[in-house]
Amino acid sequence: MVTIDDVARAAGVSTSTVSYALSGRRPISPATRERVAAAIAELGYHPHAGARALASSRSSVLALVAPLRSDINVPVIMEFVTAVVTAAREHSYDVLLLTKDEGTAGLQRVAGGAMVDALIVMDVESDDARVPALLKLRQPSVLIGLPSEPTGLTCVDLDFEATARACVEHLAGRGHRRIALVGPAPGVYQRGTSYANRFLTGFTAAVGALGADVVAEPCDPSRAGVRDCLDRIGPDVTGLVVHNEAALMPLLDLLRVDGRRVPEDVSVVAVCPRDAVPPLPVRLTTAEIPAHEVGTLAVTMAMRLLDSPVATPPETRLLPPVIVERDSVSPI
């Protein structure tokens, strides 16, 4: 295996000069840097990750905490994971993906072993038990989500309250007043998941502002679960806001079975990432979940905390909603 000493001999420089050229910790003349780079390319040298970490006091690894629970929509989660991994590579970082629901123990295990330089945490709950542990860690953290008390935390997410209002207003602007929410699975609400609670808050306020009755039901995304949800909602609604990507296909099929045409009889606005929904019989109007933008921002914020911890105060970034009109909403 090629070593740093081999590179130094091939470039005609000292081992320490090669190390400085790799780490950038001391200025090296352009000519010397070019000789080192040429020797590395010729010999196929790859610096040892452990040695790099010891030299720089960094591991060049970010932890992404994304528990894969039974009621999680994996394709949606993977949109965020892909965005984080892609953005991390732009900073020459790798990503350690933690999918087991370990709570604070998992955070402390990874951080305590100096395995990672920073943590990005998903599936945030309104009263998240992990928050006190995150605030005590040596490593900085970024939450993709917004707990009810974000003081001292750096958070980024879609503004789900504003998104719910935008969905209702989009339907109301086309004459709809009987609007119902097909929400996430019951377990998502039972855990107090932040995004679901914030969306429900925004939906309730927006429908209430219309002077209409609030109809909001959790929905198991199985065909039987969607059937039950639609039965609870009843046949009188003219507009559906669907905050449950996995329920979309059975929902559209069951509406067809019931003889309710989209959008002629019932209009549908779906809340989902751009690329996380399979082909459907109707091109849905959507409030897009900006997974790529949120994941990229989370990495950018983590790197800023690593590079300038004193000059970077905690912040919360909530991205505004974007409604993309397609073929599933019509006026009444």
Taking the C-alpha atoms of residue 315 and residue 153, their distance in angstroms, rounded to an integer, is 7
| Residue at 248: amino acid letter | L
pLDDT in tens, 302-326: 999 999 887 789 999 999 999 999 9
3-state secondary structure of 319: strand
Higher pLDDT, residue 275 or 65: 65
Closest alpha carbon to 58 in 66, 68, 47: 47
Starting at the earlier edge strand, list the strands of the sheet with 118-121.
Answer: 94-98, 61-65, 118-121, 141-144, 154-158, 316-319
| Residue at 143: amino acid letter | L
Mean pLDDT of all residues in 7-19: 91
Beta bridge pairs of residue 144: 156
Q: Is residue 222's pLDDT more than 50? A: yes
pLDDT class of 121 with cuts at 50, 70, 90: very high
Let me know how long the chain is: 332
- Mean residue pLDDT across the chain: 92
Mean pLDDT of all residues in 75-99: 94
Q: Is residue 201's pLDDT more than 90? A: yes
Closest alpha carbon to 104 in 128, 133, 63, 125: 133
Cα angle 47, 49, 54; round to 5: 105
Q: Is residue 12's pLDDT more than 90? A: yes
* pTM of the predicted structure, to 2 decimals: 0.83
Mean pLDDT of all residues in 5-25: 85
Mean pLDDT of all residues in 246-268: 97
3-state secondary structure of 323: strand
Predicted local distance difference test score (pLDDT) of residue 54: 45
pLDDT in tens, 140-178: 999 999 999 999 999 999 999 999 999 999 999 999 999
